[in-house]
Amino acid sequence: MKKRVVVTGIGAITPIGIGKDDFFNALENGVSGLGPITKFDASDYDTRIAAEVKGFEPTAYIDKKEAKRMDRFTQFAVAASKLAIEDAKLDTDGIDQNRFGVVLGSGIGGIETLEKEYEKLATKGPGRVSPFFIPMMISNIGAGQVSMTFGAKGPNTTVVTACASSTNSVGEAFRIIQNGEADVMITGGAEASITPLAIAGFCAMKAMSTRNENPQKACSPFDINRDGFVMGEGAGILILEELEHAVKRGAPIYAEMVGYGMSADAYHITAPAPGGEGAARSMMNALKDAGLSPNDVDYINAHGTSTPYNDKFETLAIKSVFGQHAYELAVSSTKSMTGHLLGAAGGIEAIACIMAITKSIVPPTINLENPDPECDLDYVANKAKQKEVSVALSNSLGFGGHNATIVLKKYVR
């Protein structure tokens, strides 16, 4: 018999708020976190806008000396984990640390460190490269630093599946607890890729919006005028816990995680499979794992990147899975507010699903002013919707054809 898994803690470091309450409030009110890039001079770039995390002070969460030895993505991971642990009222010294683990996702890892250290190499020579360069850059160091900070000695790994990374991470952590290998898992993802090289690379791909004159309107999923995604940064962390373990310690319980599915497009390095057939299989696999039918789902947090192909094909995928019920669902893209956090996107979008379940408020898709006729579902345009949500599904679809879906459900003892 598989163990039941619940969400007991939430940690959010996002472009629209730091901490669960600020993040929830911004989602409800359709706040945009997009603006001009301030981290470097982007005046020569085709895209000069992003969704930066404002007001983040790492030393509020991390020892100053340790923070200097962490890339920004790792700082986000540790800080958001601290917030989630506090939210879960979890005494990390009072649990079996051998059954306390970490699974985190990051699509790109320490690219800021990579760029800075390469600049040292190019201008000052190899002797000036930091001895901390490698352990600051590698993508698994986020999970490593979180485990060291909080004494998590159980299962520990990192998932790198581009934009699906943190949804896959949450799914893998879910399975670890289901299978009885751990009692508590820190999971989700972190990313900090608003850097000169990363932005230049995505500009070269023509993947990002170039609506620089009106940044807050630049990300417009499902709108006929959408022209690309907007880069975001931050971290979304959940504490997943075996139900009886959570009940025994009197933990807060936000929702139950009941399903996880994934699939591969096996089609193209960046473009989604025609008709969204890979995404459809991922959703079907997640529903099968949850033991639910399509008609049980009330809300979908879409991948919804604001790119022409993604939004169209994800819509087709939803229609193929849900049939007529697709038109009764609420579907929204919170990337319209947060930008696209790449490997951390699924973490904060899982949190958005939890908000929908616990508060009966579905976050909106802002900037949806001229709907694409081929995107004809209820995308909760521009204003949050009051709606009872018993079951929510979150999609993440990554470069390389990686598709991941999780299913969260209102907790009933």
Q: Which helix (H) or strand (E) holds 300?
A: strand 299-301
Whether 353 sits among the annotated catalytic residues: the reply is no
Residues 219-233 as b or e (16 or more Cβ within 10 Å = b): bbbbbeebbbbbbbb
CATH of 5-248, one of 3.40.50.620, 3.90.1150.10, 3.90.870.30, 3.40.47.10: 3.40.47.10
Q: Is the dihedral of CA 177, 174, 408, 263 positive or negative?
A: negative
Q: Is the dihedral of CA 287, 293, 298, 303 positive or negative?
A: positive
What is the tens place of the pLDDT at every residue in 322-375?
A: 999 999 999 999 999 999 999 999 999 999 999 999 999 999 999 999 999 999
Q: Would you mind telling me the total number of residues written for the chain in this entry?
A: 413
21, 85 Cβ separation under 8 angstroms: no
Q: Supply the pLDDT for residue 240.
A: 98
What is the tens place of the pLDDT at every residue in 62-117?
A: 999 999 999 999 999 999 999 999 999 999 999 999 999 999 999 999 999 999 99
Give the pLDDT band (50/70/90) at residue 162: very high
CA angle 343, 68, 146 (to 5 degrees): 50
Start and end residues for every CATH 3.40.47.10 domain found in the chain: 5-248, 258-407
Which residue among 163, 203, 353, 375 is the active-site one?
163
Local structure of 393: helix, strand or coil: strand
Is 266 exposed, middle or buried (CB count within 10 Å of its CB: 0-12, 13-18, 19+)? exposed
What is the tens place of the pLDDT at every residue in 118-136?
A: 999 999 999 999 999 999 9
What is the CATH architecture assignment of 258-407?
3-Layer(aba) Sandwich (3.40)
Q: Supply the pLDDT for residue 299.
A: 98
Give the pLDDT band (50/70/90) at residue 287: very high
Q: Supply the pLDDT for residue 138.
A: 98
Give the pLDDT band (50/70/90) at residue 181: very high
**C-alpha–C-alpha distance, residues 8 and 88, integer Å:** 5
DSSP 320: H
Give the type of residue at 358: T
User: For residue 69, how many other CB atoms are within 10 A of its CB?
Assistant: 16
Mean pLDDT of 306-318: 97
Look at residues 196, 163, 190, 192 and name the one whose alpha carbon lies nearest to residue 306.
Answer: 163
Q: Is the dihedral of CA 89, 91, 97, 103 positive or negative?
A: positive
362, 332 Cβ separation under 8 angstroms: yes
**C-alpha–C-alpha distance, residues 167 and 344, integer Å:** 8
Give this prediction's pTM. Answer: 0.97
Mean pLDDT of 272-286: 96
What is the tens place of the pLDDT at every residue in 230-274?
A: 999 999 999 999 999 999 999 999 999 999 999 999 999 999 999
Three-state SS string over 256-282 comes to: EEEEEEEEECCCCCCCCCHHHHHHHHH
- Contacts (Cβ under 8 Å, ≥6 apart) of 284: 261, 321
Mean pLDDT of 18-34: 98
Residue 303 above 90 pLDDT?
Answer: yes
**C-alpha–C-alpha distance, residues 395 and 303, integer Å:** 5
β 402-409/385-386 pair status: unpaired
Give the type of residue at 8: T
Alpha helices per DSSP H over 69-193: 72-87, 111-124, 133-137, 141-150, 165-178
User: For residue 218, how many other CB atoms are within 10 A of its CB?
Assistant: 28
Q: Supply the pLDDT for residue 268.
A: 95
Q: Supply the pLDDT for residue 140.
A: 98
Q: Supply the pLDDT for residue 58.
A: 97
**C-alpha–C-alpha distance, residues 97 and 240, integer Å:** 14
Residue 228 above 90 pLDDT?
Answer: yes
H helices, E strands: number in the chain:
13, 15
Q: Which helix (H) or strand (E) holds 198?
A: helix 196-204
Give the pLDDT band (50/70/90) at residue 413: confident
Residue 1 above 90 pLDDT?
Answer: no
